[in-house]
Amino acid sequence: MNPLDQRIVSCLVANARSSYAEVGKVVGLSAPAVKRRVDRLLDRGVLRGFTAVVDPEALGWGTEAFVEVHCRGNVSPSRIRARVEPLPEVVAAYTVTGAADAIVHLRAADIHQLETALERLRGLDIVDRTVSTVVLSRLLDRPPAAGGG
Amino acid sequence: MNPLDQRIVSCLVANARSSYAEVGKVVGLSAPAVKRRVDRLLDRGVLRGFTAVVDPEALGWGTEAFVEVHCRGNVSPSRIRARVEPLPEVVAAYTVTGAADAIVHLRAADIHQLETALERLRGLDIVDRTVSTVVLSRLLDRPPAAGGG
DNA sequence: ATTGAAATATTGCATAC
DNA sequence: GTATGCAATATTTCAAT
């Protein structure tokens, strides 16, 4: 992972559909050279793939929340993952420091669907209680810089 | 935004670099027809763009945290946005219900950089105090389903 | 890095709803 | 007017050197 790779990754984060030639023009490489590096980055898992960035509002997923999950007793991270993964409203989940065992990021069409998702989340056998924080507005949402640090 | 568009969006969320012909084969449309719909979705802002999914670890952004931000007095969302936007470690920010005024999602190279970012965040004139929750492990991180609800 | 064949993107145009 | 498919051209990919 050298500076050249980082710049290639930056280009693709900015626009995943740009051609290898376009990326090459920016980083000073020929198109085939860029492709070989991209393939290598995909192989090594640095690049996980390419995705479309969708406006959640437009799709009818305008309501989101962060939920602290407190579990009964000791529950392993992998078990938490296995239980929350099937819920389609779960966008992300993390184990965290502090009183909670996990933070679950939910995204739903509206408050009602959010409530339903929350009920299903609270119904999981591993869950003791939850503390929800509903998002009022998304102030910022951006891909991480690729040239980190 | 009809079911056809939703399926096209799904395809591109799954793989932003798939060809229009590939998408067309899935949704039952010709390549030009797919392109025209994609262009229209981009125009309308339903599709914001296409990005590479990067492994934060591999880029040296392995440490992240969620920070509750409590402001002094009444601060408008746009003002919060303006203050946190310049910090490169800020991946996302939301105004929320509950005691906190905002939740800021931070991503840094390590605990030290996270601490530095936190100090800068707490140094903002609008910030009264912060409550940090450090992520121990990312259990799940996926794009939202496109056929929502 | 360059070449050349195959795949893909993009535009114009005719057609159907 | 809106959306589609087909065909033609331009561009890009990808394996060869």
Reduce the DSSP state of residue B13 to 3 states and report it. helix
A148 chain-B contacts, CB cut-off 8 A: 59-61, 109
Task: Report pLDDT for B146.
Answer: 67
List the Cα angle B62/B71/A129 in 5-degree steps. Answer: 60
Question: How many Å apart are CA A22 and CA B108, to the nearest integer?
Answer: 29
The CATH classification number of A56-134 equals 3.30.70.920
Q: CB of residue B133 closer than 7 A to nucleic acid strand C? A: no
Sketch the domain layout of chain A as residue ranges. 3-44, 56-134
Contact by Cβ (8 Å): B75, A80: no
pLDDT of residue A58: 85
| Domain range B3-44, its CATH number among 3.90.190.20, 3.40.50.880, 1.10.10.10, 3.40.50.300 | 1.10.10.10
- CB-proximal positions of chain C, under 7 Å: 1-3, 7-12
CA of A21 and C1' of D16: distance in angstroms? 19
Q: List CB contacts of B74: < 8 A, sequence separation 6 or more.
A: none
Give Rg (Cα) of chain A.
20
DSSP label at residue B143: P
State the pLDDT at residue A79. 97
Tell me what pLDDT residue B4 has.
94
**Token pair of A71 as six digits:** 């579990």
CB distance from B86 to chain A under 8 Å? Answer: no
Residues with pLDDT less than 50, chain A: 149
**B102's tokens:** 């905002």
Give the pLDDT score at B144.
73
User: Whole-prediction pTM value?
Assistant: 0.90
- The CB density around residue A135, as the number of other CB atoms within 10 Å, is 22
What is the separation of C-alpha A101 from the centre of its chain, rounded to a whole number of angstroms? 19
Nucleotide at minimal C1' distance from the B40 CA: D3
Residue ranges in chain B whose pLDDT is less than 70: 146-149
